[in-house]
Amino acid sequence: MPAINKTAIITGITGQDGAYLAQYLLGLNYSVVGLTRSYSSAGLSKLMKLGIDTQIQLEECDLMDYSSIIRILQKYKPDEFYNLAAQSSVAASFNQPIGTIQFNSISVLNILEAIRSSNSDIRFYQASSSEMFGRVPELPIREDNVLNPVSPYAISKATAHWIVRNYREAYGIFACSGILFNHESSLRDDTFFVKKVIESARKIKAGKMDMLHVGNIMIKRDFGSSKEYVKVMHAMLQHFQPDDYIVASGKSVLLKDIIDFVFNYIGVPADRYIVDEKLFRPSEIIDLYGDSSRARIKLGWDYKLDFFDVLTDIIDEIESAND
């Protein structure tokens, strides 16, 4: 095991990326402190699935409360701070625009203010999102493309993204944004598209569901692997210079092709889904894929996975966990 002896704080520790990042950092011999909004409702199932729940110091912290963050920074004196907590669903953000925009932007401001006033040497990672770019005139997306967000989620992430840049440029904080494109795993919540398709196909096969209901599946997204993408979050904070980085596979996939692949792999007839216009988003992006040359050149990031191979692994993992 490498002899790193650093302390990292992770917000959103109970989420998909929080769990994989914690696992990765523990493997590098970090002390990991995970922040949760409430001990009583903290869902530790993802950390338990990875067998790391007992290796993490869990702390309750309201990220909307600056003084709670100061208390945590003083108690743990972290070297690195990974901010993954967010209302992370684009679809849910149309139903909860105020909560999404308030939490996803003000929490970031609170953390950076706390870092600036207590220890400006702490290195900070922000979970930015490809959704910030919205409808773009040309693809692939690069870090300096204009932001044109088209959902409350995207607006919240764009706001946070500019807060990070401002703290880096104005105060010299080592603050990086990882602009991640969609990334999936068996730990993804069932409400997100890929996991929903897999779980629904399994239910249809078992006779527990009749049809999968989906929104607009004639759109394309750039999908990757969560397990792999968390490694580049860490790499960003080890570089000598803070920067923003696109993290993407470089290829987009039609959502309908994901349904066809999953149904075929699990053994469900190809026509067992219904496109339901009620599930369409009020505004939609047709295609998104990114160019991660900066991460590849500056951080030596070497991601080559084809998404259908990632998908196969996710399905196999879910099937074997349920055998």
Q: Which of 31, 128, 129, 156 is catalytic?
A: 129
d(CA 206, CA 187): 21
Q: Is there binding between residue 84 and ligand NAP (CB under 6 A)?
A: yes
- Which residue number, 18 or 78, has a Cβ lying nearer to ligand NAP? 18
Q: What is the token pair recorded at 157?
A: 């992430």
- Which residue number, 50 or 209, has a Cβ lying nearer to ligand NAP? 50
- 3-class DSSP state of 57: strand
At residue 126's C-alpha, the angle toward residues 196 and 117, to 5°, is 145
Q: Is there binding between residue 15 and ligand NAP (CB under 6 A)?
A: yes
> Among residues 9, 111, 127, 310, which is the contact residue for ligand NAP, using CB under 6 A?
127
- Cis previous bond, 97, omega within 30: no
Q: How many residues bind ligand NAP, per CB under 6 A?
A: 22
Dihedral, 206, 198, 307, 153 alpha carbons, nearest 10: 180
To the nearest whole angstrom, how small is the minimum distance from the Cβ of residue 142 to ligand NAP? 16
Core vs surface per residue 238-266: b (16+ CB within 10 A) or e: eeeebebbbbbbbebbebbebbebbbebb
- Which residue number, 209 or 217, has a Cβ lying nearer to ligand NAP? 217
To the nearest whole angstrom, how small is the minimum distance from the Cβ of residue 251 to ligand NAP? 15
What residues have CB less than 8 Å from 113, skipping those under 6 apart? 66
Site string for ligand NAP, 146-185 (x = CB under 6 A): ----------------------------------x-xx--
43-62 binders of ligand NAP (CB under 6 A): 43
> Among residues 9, 17, 225, 268, which is the contact residue for ligand NAP, using CB under 6 A?
17
For strand 175-180 and strand 57-60, is the pairing parallel, antiparallel, or unpaired?
Answer: unpaired
CB 130 within 8 A of CB 290: yes
CB 227 within 8 A of CB 20: yes
To the nearest whole angstrom, how small is the minimum distance from the Cβ of residue 21 to ligand NAP? 9
Contact residues for ligand NAP, defined by CB under 6 A: 12, 14-18, 36-37, 43, 63, 84-88, 103, 127, 129, 180, 182-183, 189
